[in-house]
């Protein structure tokens, strides 16, 4: 099995896939956390590695940036590679006053300004929601690890630079953070009958101007990775 975007063999991809946006973060995770990790895809530089975590086979594969890219890779994994669970591990900007730099957010749902869901031909936009199974497991794993997390709604936007919809207005709606991939992932999971969860580390606070460096984003957000890996180990 291969696609225009993934030349891995079907048996090279595990049933649970962790998906950072950055290919170099995928490489970092594979080298630091997985045993016997091997590169199984490098088409378009979108690295995928499969290895073992506590003896269980896990794949970590980059999704790229934005809903179109996440939409392609998650759909192919769910539909053509028989992947059952995708856990996005990425970065987000803080919106809620209660969320601080480096905090971890489990995305229970995703509101979006994207027209991605129009492709399903429904009469209204469906709710983009996480799998309760993965959400519950991730919350339990975080507690076991002693890592505090926020469980909240994410804003998934099509545009990184945007003059409309001030983030302060989304704060009024109780949104925890803003990122660019969760809605497409949740929609694809729902459409294919699979499970998905978005775990984000807060990398910047747009309303205060605080931010992590690019190197810190790539290499130091280990708490969400540990939660995701323990969730992957625990899931059926």
At 91-146, the pLDDT tens digits run 999 999 999 999 999 999 999 988 888 888 888 888 999 999 999 999 999 999 99
Calculate helix-pair angle for 23-33, 222-234, nearest 10 degrees: 70
Give the pair of three-digit tokens for residue 55. 């003896």
Report angle CA 147, 184, 9 to the nearest 5 degrees: 90
| Predicted TM-score (pTM) of this structure | 0.94
Give the residue among 60, 70, 75 at the shortest CA–CA distance from 14: 60
**Which CATH number is correct for 10-234, 3.40.50.2300, 3.40.50.620, 3.40.50.720, 3.40.50.1580?**
3.40.50.1580
What is d(CA 143, CA 231) in angstroms, rounded to the nearest whole number?
12
Do residues 235 and 134 make contact, with C-beta atoms less than 8 angstroms apart?
yes
> How does residue 219 score in pLDDT terms, banded at 50, 70 and 90?
low
Catalytic site residue from 103, 204, 223, 230: 204
What is d(CA 91, CA 88) in angstroms, rounded to the nearest whole number?
10
At 146-185, the pLDDT tens digits run 999 999 999 999 988 877 767 888 999 999 999 999 999 9
What's the length of the chain?
236
- Domain residue ranges in the chain: 10-234
Calculate helix-pair angle for 182-192, 67-80, nearest 10 degrees: 30
User: What's the mean pLDDT in 46-72?
Assistant: 97
Active site residue 204: yes
Give the pair of three-digit tokens for residue 186. 């949740």
């Amino acid at each position: 099995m291969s696609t225009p975007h993934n030349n891995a063999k079907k048996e090279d991809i595990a049933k649970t896939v962790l998906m950072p946006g950055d290919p170099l973060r995928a490489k970092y995770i594979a080298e630091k956390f997985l045993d016997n990790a091997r590169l199984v895809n490098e088409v378009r530089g979108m690295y995928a590695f499969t290895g073992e975590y506590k003896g269980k086979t896990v794949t970590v594969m980059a999704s790229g940036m934005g809903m179109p890219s996440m939409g392609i890779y998650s759909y192919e994994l769910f539909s053509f590679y028989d992947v059952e669970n995708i856990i996005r591990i990425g970065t987000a900007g803080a919106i809620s006053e209660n969320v601080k730099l480096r905090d971890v957010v489990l995305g229970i749902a995703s509101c979006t300004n994207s027209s991605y869901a129009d492709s399903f031909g429904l009469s209204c936009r469906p709710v983009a929601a996480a799998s309760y199974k993965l959400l519950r497991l991730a919350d339990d794993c975080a507690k076991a690890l002693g890592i505090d997390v926020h469980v909240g709604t994410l804003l998934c936007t099509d545009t990184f630079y945007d003059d409309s919809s001030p983030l302060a207005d989304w704060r009024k709606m109780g949104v925890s953070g803003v990122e660019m991939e969760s809605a497409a992932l949740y929609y694809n999971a729902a459409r294919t009958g699979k499970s998905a969860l978005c775990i984000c580390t807060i990398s910047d606070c747009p309303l205060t101007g605080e931010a992590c460096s690019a190197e810190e984003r790539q290499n130091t957000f280990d708490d969400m990775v540990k939660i995701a890996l323990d969730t992957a180990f625990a899931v059926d």
